[in-house]
C-alpha cells in the first residue's frame, strides 16, 4: 500500500465518521476532548490508569466540575473507558493527553508521556494517527515519541501519522469550549499534518496549521509564558503601587480603557494551574541546551513565586497594627482552587499561603464551595474541610483573606461580618476593615 493510499483511507474514514478515536488520559483536557469527538458522532475509547475515573465514566458520573453528567449520559452510546491500553490497537487515532509536571529540581518531568507511550507502543499499528497534546518543550514529539515508533517500523508520513496539537482548555470559561477554540497543529510530515487537520477539523471550528511539531510546541509555551510574564509585571507594579498608597486595580482598570496597545492583566497571591507556573520552566530548560539564558522569563517567575509570601506579610502587618501577632491568630482563607469557579487546585498559590501561615503558627481554616475537603498535596496533608460562610462563623475569625474570588462567595456577607478582610484579588471596595494585598 502506498503512502497516498494510507492517507486517503484515513481521511475517508474520518469523513465517513468510521474512525475510532482513543484518548489516553481522561483529565481536564482528555475528558472534554473525548466528549467532543463523541458528540460529533465518532466512536471514542478513553484510556486511563486511574480505575476510579473509568468506573465513574461507566456510571456516567462527572469528576470535573464544568463537565456535566448530562454530557456523559448523552455520549454513552459512543464513549466508553478502560484501563486496558491494549485496546488502543482497535483505534484509528490515538491522542495522548497526560500531565507534564516539573521535577523537584524544576526540570521537565515527561514520565507520564513516556509511561503512556510505553503502554501504547506494543499495540500501535500501521495506518494509525498518533497525536500528543500535552504541553512540553520543542522537540518532544520528534525526540521522545518518534524514535521508539521508528524502531518498530512505523515511519511518520509513510505508514502512520504523527502530529503535535497542544491543548487550549480554559476550565469553567463560559465563552469558550473545546470546539470553539482555534487549534494549532504541526505534523512530522505534510501527510501527517493533512491527516491531523482532517481529524481535528471535524470537531474544531478553526484549525491553525504550522510547519512542524516543534513550532506547535513552542506556540503553546509562548501562549502561557506571555501570561506568566505579564502577570509578573502587574504583580511587581502592585508592590510599587502599595508603596505609593495607590490601588493597582484602579490603575489597571483605567489603563484598560485605552482601545489599543494595552491588554489588562491582574495581580494576585501568585499563579496556579498546570500551565502558567510550569510551562516557562520547560522553555528555560530547553533554552540552556542552546546556551541561552532566559532572564526575562525567569525574573517573572521569581516575582510570581514570591507573591504568596508577600500577601502573608501584608496579613501579618495588618494584624500587628491591631495589636495581634500572626502566631495563634484565627485565619480564614477564601478559595483554595487556583482560579475562580473551578475545583482545580494544581499549583494553587492558596496552598502555599496555607503552608506559610501554618509554619508561622497561625490557626488556619478555609472556605471554598468547589473544594469541600482538602486532599493531600505535594506541600503536605491537611485535615481540613470547607467552613460554611455564616455571620457567626466569619465573626469568629481574626482575619479573612480573599485568595480565589469565586462567584459563589457572598461578598456583602463577607465584607459586613469580617473583622479584618485582606483582599488579594481586588474583589472588595476600600473600607475600614479592608486591607489590599
Domains of the chain: 3-211 (3.40.50.720), 306-436 (3.40.50.720)
d(CA 169, CA 176): 8
The answer to whether residue 378 scores a pLDDT higher than 80 is no
Rounded (10°) angle between helices 190-200 and 3-15: 10
The answer to whether residue 366 scores a pLDDT higher than 90 is yes
- pLDDT band at residue 33 under the 50/70/90 scheme: very high
pTM for this entry:
0.92
Task: Extract the C-alpha cell encoding 122.
Answer: 506494543
d(CA 195, CA 322): 66
Residues 45-58, mean pLDDT to the nearest whole number? 97
Residues classed as catalytic = 275
Strands (DSSP E) along 58-105, which ranges? 79-82, 93-96
Residues 209-222, mean pLDDT to the nearest whole number? 98
Report DSSP state, residue 401: E
Question: pLDDT value at position 172?
Answer: 76
Question: pLDDT value at position 196?
Answer: 98
Question: pLDDT value at position 174?
Answer: 80
The answer to whether residue 379 scores a pLDDT higher than 80 is no
Residues 301-319, mean pLDDT to the nearest whole number? 96
Measure CA 156 to chain center.
30
- How high is the mean pLDDT of the chain? 95
CB burial of residue 38 (10 Å; 0-12, 13-18, 19+): buried
- pLDDT band at residue 65 under the 50/70/90 scheme: confident
The answer to whether residue 124 scores a pLDDT higher than 90 is yes
Contact 421, 400 (CB under 8 A): yes
Question: pLDDT value at position 274?
Answer: 81
- pLDDT band at residue 169 under the 50/70/90 scheme: confident
The answer to whether residue 35 scores a pLDDT higher than 80 is yes
- pLDDT band at residue 322 under the 50/70/90 scheme: very high
d(CA 28, CA 40): 19
Give the gyration radius of the chain's Cα atoms: 24
- pLDDT band at residue 383 under the 50/70/90 scheme: confident
Question: pLDDT value at position 321?
Answer: 95
Residues 246-266, mean pLDDT to the nearest whole number? 96
The answer to whether residue 3 scores a pLDDT higher than 80 is no
The answer to whether residue 400 scores a pLDDT higher than 80 is yes
Lowest mean pLDDT among 172-176, 264-268, 325-329, 362-366: 172-176
Residues 246-251, mean pLDDT to the nearest whole number? 94
Report DSSP state, residue 363: E
d(CA 245, CA 280): 32
Amino acid at each position: 500500500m502506498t503512502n497516498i493510499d494510507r492517507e486517503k483511507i484515513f481521511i475517508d474514514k474520518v469523513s465517513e465518521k468510521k474512525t475510532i478515536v482513543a484518548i489516553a488520559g481522561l483529565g481536564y483536557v482528555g475528558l472534554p476532548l473525548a466528549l467532543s469527538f463523541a458528540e460529533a458522532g465518532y466512536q471514542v475509547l478513553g484510556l486511563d490508569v486511574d480505575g476510579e475515573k473509568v468506573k465513574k465514566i461507566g456510571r456516567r458520573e462527572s469528576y470535573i466540575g464544568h463537565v456535566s453528567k448530562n454530557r456523559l449520559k448523552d455520549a454513552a452510546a459512543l464513549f466508553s473507558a478502560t484501563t486496558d491500553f491494549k485496546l488502543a490497537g482497535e483505534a484509528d487515532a490515538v491522542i495522548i493527553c497526560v500531565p507534564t509536571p516539573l521535577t523537584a529540581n524544576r526540570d521537565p518531568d515527561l514520565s507520564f508521556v513516556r509511561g503512556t507511550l510505553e503502554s501504547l507502543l506494543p499495540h500501535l499499528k500501521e495506518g494509525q494517527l498518533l497525536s500528543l497534546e500535552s504541553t512540553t518543550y520543542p522537540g518532544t514529539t520528534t525526540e521522545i515519541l518518534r524514535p521508539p515508533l521508528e524502531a518498530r517500523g512505523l515511519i511518520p508520513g509513510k505508514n502512520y501519522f504523527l502530529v503535535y496539537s497542544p491543548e487550549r482548555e480554559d476550565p469553567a470559561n463560559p465563552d469558550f469550549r473545546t470546539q470553539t477554540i482555534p487549534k494549532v497543529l504541526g505534523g512530522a510530515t505534510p501527510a501527517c499534518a493533512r491527516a491531523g487537520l482532517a481529524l481535528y477539523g471535524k470537531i474544531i471550528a478553526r484549525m491553525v496549521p504550522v510547519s512542524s511539531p516543534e513550532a506547535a510546541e513552542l506556540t503553546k509555551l509562548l501562549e502561557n509564558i506571555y501570561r506568566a510574564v505579564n502577570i509578573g509585571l502587574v504583580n511587581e507594579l502592585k508592590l510599587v503601587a502599595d508603596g505609593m498608597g495607590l490601588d493597582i486595580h484602579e490603575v489597571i482598570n483605567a489603563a484598560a480603557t485605552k482601545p489599543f496597545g494595552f491588554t489588562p492583566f491582574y495581580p494576585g497571591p501568585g499563579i496556579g494551574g498546570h500551565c502558567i507556573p510550569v510551562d516557562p520552566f520547560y522553555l528555560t530548560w530547553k533554552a540552556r541546551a542552546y546556551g541561552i539564558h532566559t532572564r526575562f522569563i525567569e525574573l517573572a517567575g521569581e516575582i510570581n513565586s514570591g507573591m504568596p509570601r508577600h500577601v502573608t506579610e501584608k496579613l501579618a502587618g495588618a494584624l500587628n497594627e491591631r495589636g495581634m501577632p500572626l502566631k495563634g491568630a484565627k485565619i480564614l482563607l477564601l478559595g483554595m482552587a487556583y482560579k475562580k469557579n473551578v475545583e482545580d487546585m494544581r499549583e494553587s498559590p492558596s496552598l502555599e499561603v496555607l503552608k506559610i501561615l501554618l509554619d508561622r503558627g497561625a490557626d488556619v481554616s478555609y472556605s471554598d464551595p468547589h473544594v469541600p475537603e482538602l486532599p493531600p498535596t505535594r506541600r503536605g496533608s491537611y485535615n481540613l474541610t470547607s467552613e460554611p460562610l455564616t455571620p457567626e462563623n466569619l465573626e469568629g475569625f481574626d482575619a479573612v483573606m480573599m485568595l480565589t474570588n469565586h462567584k459563589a462567595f457572598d461578598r456583602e456577607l463577607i465584607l459586613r461580618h469580617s473583622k479584618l478582610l485582606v483582599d488579594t484579588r481586588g474583589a472588595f471596595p476600600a473600607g475600614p476593615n479592608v486591607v489590599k494585598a
